[in-house]
Structure 1
Amino acid sequence: MLALGGLREGTLARLQYRHVKEDLEANILPLHNHVEAAIAKGKHGDFDTFLNSEAVQYLKIYLKIRTQGTSELRLENITETNPRLETPRLPLPRR
């Protein structure tokens, strides 16, 4: 997602589902992603980026995993304010 979307790691971590919802649910490619200045460190103003079909495919798979849950990830109801990407809360290994 970083390389394909042209986003910095910190910016990507601050994005929410609302940033991609409209185009993602309408299957519009490339997927438009408007990034507000407050999310992108606020130094350069708002900007737009786009995700190609490969990035959108990975995003859809990731969101499907989040909504179905796995043995490592809890089941989640995705709303507009959910982080688009989230670090899984996995238990620490025992020593």
Structure 2
Amino acid sequence: MENSNVSYVVIVDNQVSGYIRGFTDKQITLYICEVIIGKELRGSGIGKNLLKYVHNLYPNTRMELLGLSTSKAFYEKLGFRSFYGFRKTFNE
């Protein structure tokens, strides 16, 4: 789908400090593949603001993402809820 990729970078003091990447059909789903924030800036609101910014671009979509167990509290604090999914690699 044309223009379905989502990718934004946050620059702080001339350094890449945050990144979000995903894709969307613009109508139903906004799937976030990665949210990466530099260790020294975690907790500063960059991740929250990236997620909010991207979702505001596609307000009619549901935002879905996979996260590490260590990020569970962060996403729950932002109103995300767990959902059940499946995963398989090519060689499995």
Q: TM-score, normalised by structure 1?
A: 0.25
Structure having the larger proportion of residues in helix:
1
Q: TM-score w.r.t. structure 2 length?
A: 0.25
Give the structure with the larger strand fraction.
2
RCO higher in 1 or 2 (8 Å CA, sep ≥ 6)?
1
